[in-house]
Every structure is written in structure tokens, then in C-alpha cells.
Amino acid sequence: MSLLIAINGWDHRPWVERFRAAMPDRAVFEAQSAFDPASIRYAAVWKPEPGLLARLPNLKAIFNLGAGVDALLADKTLPDVPLCRIVNPDLTARMSEFVALNALMHLRQVNYYRACQQEKSWAPRDQPAAGDVRIGIMGMGVLGRDAAEVLLRLGFRVSGWSRSGFTMAGVAAYAGTEALPAFLNQTDILVVLLPLTDQTRGILNRALLSQLARDGALGGSILINAGRGGLQNEADILACLADGTLHAASLDVFETEPLSAASPLWTHERVILTPHVAADSTPHALVRAVVENIAGFERDGTLKDVVDRRLGY
């Protein structure tokens, strides 16, 4: 009943240490070292080398160590065993911090006041209230719903858009492609917490951004994308910033990561940029939950947070 840890892009060592401490009775291998493929029953992974999991003949389940499974599902050799993702209060709280922080930075005109500070210019501007600002969240899943609660508590007017619809007190609900224009038309700050799928790839393009409200209290529309870089068209975002279609943006994810040093996004005065850190996965918060999921599976065959592969998220 061995576990294989296959992690790329993060330091795998703290994960291996935590899993070994949490599962003292079984062998925990790291993909970087030698292991017998036939001995592996479970794999805990983040962006594993494509084809690796297909080489494990006795694999029973895969545990993705992040919330988004797009990178994993891009591996067409992925074995047809249950695939679980991270749904965890620690990761969710981190994302809501990120969304609230960025919404507040735009509300409180941080780009403008940072520029004033550099010029030693004492130049206060009118300050809209949160209640004057309409935030629309694309993706009302685990992360979108929690962010909505935090934004409501801060006083923003909140709406959400999802594929199949949802009900949440205080949040106007929009569902499906037909409802997208109406949702966008009443949104000042667009928060994107969608998964990357065949349906959502490239959705944040000029055609969509030009439907956002531009008559709001912040003097233009604002994009906050912490979903995936593949959702956005960066050339369109830059062009929309240049011609006023977009007033400002906060971007945590990019079409290609790491973002090229040549990208004009790095130095754009109205872009707040972070290197895919909106909601980190941390071993101390997540390993215990994966171990408990494995224990439940061995006890009665049940698994939590299983991905619907047909939907792609």
C-alpha cells in the first residue's frame, strides 16, 4: 500500500517528510528516487511528469495537491482511477484573503496613492464606499462562494456566475452562457475563480472585458484573475488597459509561468502582479486531509473531493 509523491514546481521535500510522519506504517517514495512501480497504490502529485502515473499498474487513486486539476488532466495517459483534488479551509481562506486584499487595493486607490507617494504629492481624491462598488465573481465553487462571503462582509455588492447556478443569500446569481452579458454589464470589479477547461480557455478576452460596466464608482472596470493564466488573453488585457476598456488589473496567474521578463505587464502602472501565490498548498495544512481520505477509501471505499473528469474540474 505504498504512496508515491510526484511534485514539480514546488519543493517536494517538506511534503515527503510530512507524509512519512503521517503514515509511519507504509512506504512513501519520492518520484526523484528509485521505487518499484508495481508497489504503488496511491499517488500524491502536483504537475507530475506526463506518463509517470500510467506506469503504475496497481494505482488505486490519485490525489492532486492543489485545487485545480487542469495540468493533470492535460496528460492524456492519466490512468482511469479516481482523482481527488484539494478542498481545504486553509487554501480557501488564503484565496479569500487574496481576493479581499486586491478588491480593497482597487477600492482604496492604492495604484494612485503609491504614485503620489513616489512624487511626494499630497493629493487626496474622493473615496467611494464599498457599497458603491459591484463585484462579479466568475466561478462560484468552493473558492468563489467563500470569497463572496468575505466581500459581502466588507460591504461590497456581490454577484456570481457559474455553469449550473447556485443560491447564496445576498448574492445575485447568474448561470450559463446566456446570462453572461447581463452579469458582466453590472460588474465593476470582475473576480475570476474559474477552473481551466475546454469551455473556459481564453474566456478573458476583449469581447468579454468590453462588456464590463464602465460607469461605476471606480472610474472604470477592473479585472482580478486568480483562476488560471490559460483563461486570459494577455495581449487583449494590455490593449484594454491602453484604451480604457479596463481601468486596472490584479493578475496572479499567466498564460506562461513564470511570466517572461519581457512582458509589459511587469511594469504597467495599473497592474498589480503576483507570481501564482494567491492560495498556496502547504504540507502542514493538507497532508493530514489526504491521509484521512486514503484511510476512508481503505475503510469503506469512499473518497472525498473526487473530480468529475467529464466536466474537467
Q: Which residues bind ligand NDP (CB under 6 A)?
A: 66-68, 95, 139-144, 162-164, 166, 193-197, 199-200, 226-228, 252-253, 276, 278-279, 313
Burial, 256: exposed, middle or buried (Cβ in 10 Å; 0-12, 13-18, 19+)?
exposed
Report the partner that residue 4 touches, choosing among ligand OXD, ligand NDP, none (CB closer than 5 to 8 A by kind): none
The reply to whether 41 belongs to the active site is no
Active-site residue among 157, 228, 247, 268? 228
- Least gap, CB of 64 to ligand OXD (angstroms): 8
Tell me whether residue 216 or residue 229 sits nearer to ligand OXD (CB atom): 229
The reply to whether 228 belongs to the active site is yes
- Name the β-bridge partners of 173: 160
100 contact partners, CB below 8 Å, separation of at least 6: 147, 150, 151, 154
- DSSP assigned state of 288: H
Q: Is 217 helix (H, G, I), strand (E, B) or coil?
A: coil
- Least gap, CB of 68 to ligand NDP (angstroms): 3
Report the partner that residue 53 touches, choosing among ligand NDP, ligand OXD, none (CB closer than 5 to 8 A by kind): none
Least Cα distance to 80 among 54, 112, 104, 101 occurs for 54
Tell me whether residue 200 or residue 232 sits nearer to ligand NDP (CB atom): 200
Tell me whether residue 49 or residue 257 sits nearer to ligand OXD (CB atom): 257
Rounded to the nearest 10°, the torsion over CA 54, 55, 60, 64 is -60
Q: Which stretches of the chain bind ligand OXD, using CB under 6 A?
A: 66-68, 86, 279, 281
Tell me whether residue 187 or residue 281 sits nearer to ligand OXD (CB atom): 281
Rounded to 5°, the CA angle 138-102-143 comes to: 40
Whats the size of the chain, residue-wise? 313
- Least gap, CB of 17 to ligand NDP (angstroms): 23
- Residues involved in catalysis: 228, 276
